[in-house]
Amino acid sequence: MKALMFGWEFPPHILGGLGTASFGLTRGMAQQEDMDITFVIPKPWGDEDQSFLKIIGACNVPIVWKECDWNQVNEKLGKFMSPDEFYRLREGIHYDFRRIGTNELGCVDFSGRYPDNLVEEIGNYEAVASVLANQLEFDVIHSHDWLTYPAGVFAKQISGKPLVIHVHATDFDRSRGNVNPTVYNIEKRGMDEADHIITVSNLTRATVIEKYHIDPAKVTTVHNAVEPLKDADTFTKTPRKDKIVTFLGRITMQKGPEYFVEAAARVLQKTDGVRFVMAGSGDMMNAMIHLVAQKGIADKFHFTGFLRGRQVHEMLAESDVYIMPSVSEPFGISPLEAMQVGTPSIISHQSGCAEILSHAIKTDYWDIDAMADAIYAIVKYPAMYNSLRELGREEVNNIRWYDAGLKVRAIYEQVLHRF
């Protein structure tokens, strides 16, 4: 079976959990004997792992016909695709996209990030999808997150193939209910046009059904998983006196960073043998620095900035407690990554991963006292720490992307049967 997937990021260049989930799911699905995946992203960097799928950069797909010779194409794109493939794709230009700014090859220069003109980039990505839909062979279209729903819808209209969309989050999660009408309309249209919708948790499934008015029969939950960490034992703690409690993620209102700071202040009222780390970046970072200073705990609080790759697991392994106090978290892979390296986790009831984790402590995001009590118990009682460490690691090692991939494949079969 051939799947044409549209995504927005892919490791090692990621800005959040979307890229991590896309990698894990596709790698898990690729273990199926006859699964053939083409994954489209706005801008590849050339160091992505393509051993189990094919990556196409939208920035390398011509949407406007321009005369260019083989050497010119090879010099510009040879690292990413052969000139012959470029010319084959160019044959798929069936629409007039000259209104869109393109380079000398007729391609769009995508940022590969989340720029201020994001909606414009989403529209340009949709144009690229039309070219691919005309030229590639595939059985099903799979769009990851709202950024790629318009591309998936256009590809469906052109090819007549079924569309599955994957809801990794909604704007209700990202905005604490202060929904952007433009984003909502893009999400709503994608859900309406999709032949089936995959959500990463039952929490998100309920949002899709209730807030977007989607038929429940059209929505299936496939929980995320975690990539096996073959060298988990190489991540160890540096000998030290103080315990470390870590928040790792985007420092935005969705993630509840202020509740982490408030809980830290409560713990430090009881003991001074704990240090707190906020790892990540985001629009609330300066506010959190000021809040830490206001609480008088700056000498026990550290900001690392954005971490990636091995740095993430090193930070998690150095920690004695990992906490994710998200206000609305469709899933949340980071607690699973923490538990892989033996770090006990505290998560909010408002997170999707709470639906599948038995050996993590769960509190409401707003219950600062419960969070502080849980942190204190883990750092002060070795029996509790060791139990969560061992049982948590065993649990997450059985939450596999391969199993998630089998569920997605069953959904593909279901929608294809109806066509």
| 397 vs 342: CA distance, rounded Å | 11
Place of tokens 């299936």: 220
- The per-residue DSSP string of 143-193 comes to EESGGGHHHHHHHHHHH---EEEEES--HHHHHTT---HHHHHHHHHHHHH
- Amino acid identity, position 396: V
| 247 vs 278: CA distance, rounded Å | 5
| 197 vs 188: CA distance, rounded Å | 12
| 253 vs 176: CA distance, rounded Å | 7
Q: Please say if the pLDDT value at position 125 is more than 90.
A: yes
Place of tokens 């160890």: 236
- For the chain, the C-alpha Rg in angstroms (whole number) is 22
Q: What is the CATH number of domain 232-396?
A: 3.40.50.2000
Whole-number pLDDT of residue 193 = 98
Count the Cβ atoms, other than its own, within 10 Å of residue 137: 10
Q: Do 321 and 246 meet the contact criterion of CB atoms below 8 Å apart? A: yes
- The per-residue DSSP string of 240-291 comes to -SSEEEEEES--SGGG-HHHHHHHHHHHHHH-SSEEEEEE---TTHHHHHHH
Mean pLDDT of the chain: 95
Tell me the percentage of the chain whose pLDDT exceeds 70: 100
Mean pLDDT of 86-93: 97
Residue 161 dihedral angles phi and psi, to the nearest 5°: -90, 155
Largest CA distance in the chain: 71
Tell me, rounded to whole angstroms, the distance of Cα 312 from its chain centroid: 15
For the whole model, what pTM was predicted?
0.92
Query: What is the arrangement of strands in the sheet containing 274-279, beginning at the earlier edge strand?
Result: 301-305, 274-279, 243-248, 321-324, 345-348, 361-363
Q: Please say if the pLDDT value at position 419 is more than 80.
A: no
Using DSSP's 3-state secondary structure scheme, residue 321 falls into strand
Place of tokens 């402590």: 361
Superfamily grouping for domain 2-225+401-418: Glycogen Phosphorylase B; (3.40.50.2000)
Q: Please say if the pLDDT value at position 255 is more than 80.
A: yes
Q: Which of 226-230, 252-256, 415-419 has the highest mean pLDDT?
A: 252-256
Count the Cβ atoms, other than its own, within 10 Å of residue 45: 13
Confidence of residue 418 (pLDDT cuts 50, 70, 90): confident
**Which has the closest alpha carbon to 346: 245, 225, 222, 265?**
245
Mean pLDDT of 76-100: 96
| 77 vs 62: CA distance, rounded Å | 11
| 87 vs 61: CA distance, rounded Å | 9
Mean pLDDT of 60-80: 95
Mean pLDDT of 74-81: 95
HEC-encoded secondary structure of 56-117:
EEHHHCCCCCCCCCHHHHHHHHCCCCCHHHHHHHHCCCCCCCCCCCCCCCCCCCCCCCCCCC
Q: Please say if the pLDDT value at position 119 is more than 80.
A: yes
Express each pLDDT in 273-300 by its tens digit. Answer: 999 999 999 999 999 999 999 999 999 9
Q: Please say if the pLDDT value at position 14 is more than 90.
A: no
DSSP-derived secondary structure letter, 237: P
Q: State the span(s) of the chain assigned CATH 3.40.50.2000.
A: 2-225+401-418, 232-396
Mean pLDDT of 239-261: 95
Residue 231 dihedral angles phi and psi, to the nearest 5°: -105, 30
Whole-number pLDDT of residue 260 = 98
Q: Report CA dihedral (403, 400, 203, 113) to the nearest 10 degrees.
A: -110
Q: Please say if the pLDDT value at position 375 is more than 90.
A: yes
Specify the length of the chain in residues.
419
Using DSSP's 3-state secondary structure scheme, residue 235 falls into coil
Q: Please say if the pLDDT value at position 175 is more than 90.
A: no
Q: Please say if the pLDDT value at position 16 is more than 90.
A: no
Q: Please say if the pLDDT value at position 236 is more than 90.
A: no
Tell me, rounded to whole angstroms, the distance of Cα 187 from its chain centroid: 16
Confidence of residue 23 (pLDDT cuts 50, 70, 90): very high
Tell me, rounded to whole angstroms, the distance of Cα 366 from its chain centroid: 24
